[in-house]
Structure 1
Amino acid sequence: MRVGILTGGGDCPGLNAVIRAAVLAGTQRHGMEFVGFLDGWRGVLDGDTVPLDEETVRPLLTIGGTILGSSRTNPLADGVDDGVARVRKQLTALEVDALLAIGGEDTLGVATALHAAGIPVVGAPKTIDDDLSATDATFGFDTAVQTAVDACDRLATTGASHHRAMIVEVMGRHAGWIALHTGMAAGAHVTILPEEDPDLDAVADVTRSVLARGQAPLIVVSEGAKVHGEEAAKNAPRDAFGHAQLGGAGDALEHELLARVPGLSTRVTVLGHLLRGGTPSAADRILATRFGLSAIEALASGNLGTMASLHGVEVHQVPLAEATGVLRTVPDARRAETAGVRW
């Protein structure tokens, strides 16, 4: 079997570990041959490939990003039938028998459509936001949270030195898992998620009370938090999959706080793509490796149209459609855990 591997959407730590595990297991256990498609679905549409062998992938475990490159190319943008036909034509020309698509909601959504059209494909879930509904966790999230917490720890000390409110904007367009975990682990006084309508007067009240007891407020806010107003979100630019390109939540929050707390000193730090880069944590290396191994066994056994998924401590395959149906957002119960507690 000749297998094509692609990585789509935003990069995150652990992508190379999936590629490494898939190639090593597929080559050694099942005699598979591998090619990598460059820059996600763009490489599939253009037939742009590189060979993947054991020597190439062995050093990849600790390397962030993806050696295959990525993009937000949507092969179905001009219609499902046309996109499927273009993909099928390239796979036939390259003698690729099956695909392993590593990505999030958009990449796996395309994979789901290809499977429905009869193209052999399996997936491995990748989203730094940890918001795919069919798995308990995705790789990259643990590294991102630790990076954000490290930054908050540093910002908290300089905030304390200058009696200043530090506002930290983290990734999270529609799901606030990164902000939730970062805020809890860093001891943030306020954490604002996309899933809620923030009470900015209450945020200002907390800010004043923290300053009054001689401490520096630390506020963590998701990039998709509803602090811009609906009009700004509606008019935001959109990517190839139609997603609003949100940002500026930290600046918008700063503006609102300065209007409510006279004399407040603030600094906004946008961590942004800092969370995507760098060496994956041990937890992400392990999870990514397990996902790669599971995907290869699915291909070998003909369990197509499925995605590697973590349930509890076990990794198994679930239908691709389960991963792309509904985003896994922060539930009310998780937000309620810290409600009414002033840190």
Structure 2
Amino acid sequence: MTIGTPEPEPIGTPEPEPIGTPEPEPIGTPPLPPISLPEPAPTPTPPPSAPAAEPKPTRRIADPARERRVDLPEPAPIDRHGPARVIALCNQKGGVGKTTTTINLGAGLALFGRRVLLVDFDPQGALSVGLAVPAHELERTIYNLLMERGAETRDLIHRTSVPGLDLLPSNIDLSAAEVQLVGEVAREQALARVLRGVVADYDYVLIDCQPSLGLLTVNALTAAQGVIIPLECEFFSLRGVALLRDTIEKVRDRLNPDLEIQGILATMYDPRTVHNREVFARVVEAFDDVVFQTVIARTVRFPETTVVGEPILTWAPGSPGAVAYRDLAKELLARDAARG
């Protein structure tokens, strides 16, 4: 170990601190701290979609009228006439084509060589107007035959534009007969008495009934052997047919044992609608062969024939309506021939 004076520390001016303006801090918005964004949530996997429901099948109902259609034979000519088969065209529901059917069925039968008398038994007189007879101007109509003793039926018969087709006209006066007949003896047989003297002159007598089941309609059913029921292909019409059938059965039991339903005729038929086809199928199911295979389709021609006062068979003989009523006349004649 060295003994002596310790080595002195170096003496001198200490190193000066740097002199000057200190480095300024940056001026402005301090930098934002980094933002940590959360990890995006995983997209949920959608549940497996249920299989799409199969569309409901459209109801397809075949046209039952077309399925029942068969060719009809041409009616055989006849060499003698009478006595007439009396047929009432009846339905208590209005607007079903009753008067149109009476006119055109009668014209069809006449064109096949039958002598036909049309009886307007509706106070509205639509049958008379439809054959160009100004019923409202007539002083004597079927009302006078019902209410006056000694009135001659032949004197009140009018010829029409169709050879072999005659008319016994009516007007609003007939509405009084329903009240006045109430007090008469055998009041239900008044029309039968009126027709008794002329049935030998004709092959058919067609009675156009009013749309009700009152005393006038009962008179028509008492005078007739057959009933044709024009039926619009609507569900509400089915109930009406049931009520009418009850009335027919009561008349047959109490007044006219020869009365029968000659046929049910579908009118205003539109095969394009499921509703019409369903109703027609139900009518056929309920009444079977009583339903005519001929159906009368909707057409604008029928209202036009009322204006000209002529059956559609002579005014527009090539129209579908004329063809249909010609077929109906054939079918009626074929049924009566089969009946013998």
Greater fraction of residues in helix: 1
TM over 0.5: no
- TM-score, length-normalised on structure 1? 0.32
Give the TM-score taking structure 2 as reference length: 0.32
Q: Indicate the structure (1 or 2) with the bigger Cα radius of gyration.
A: 2
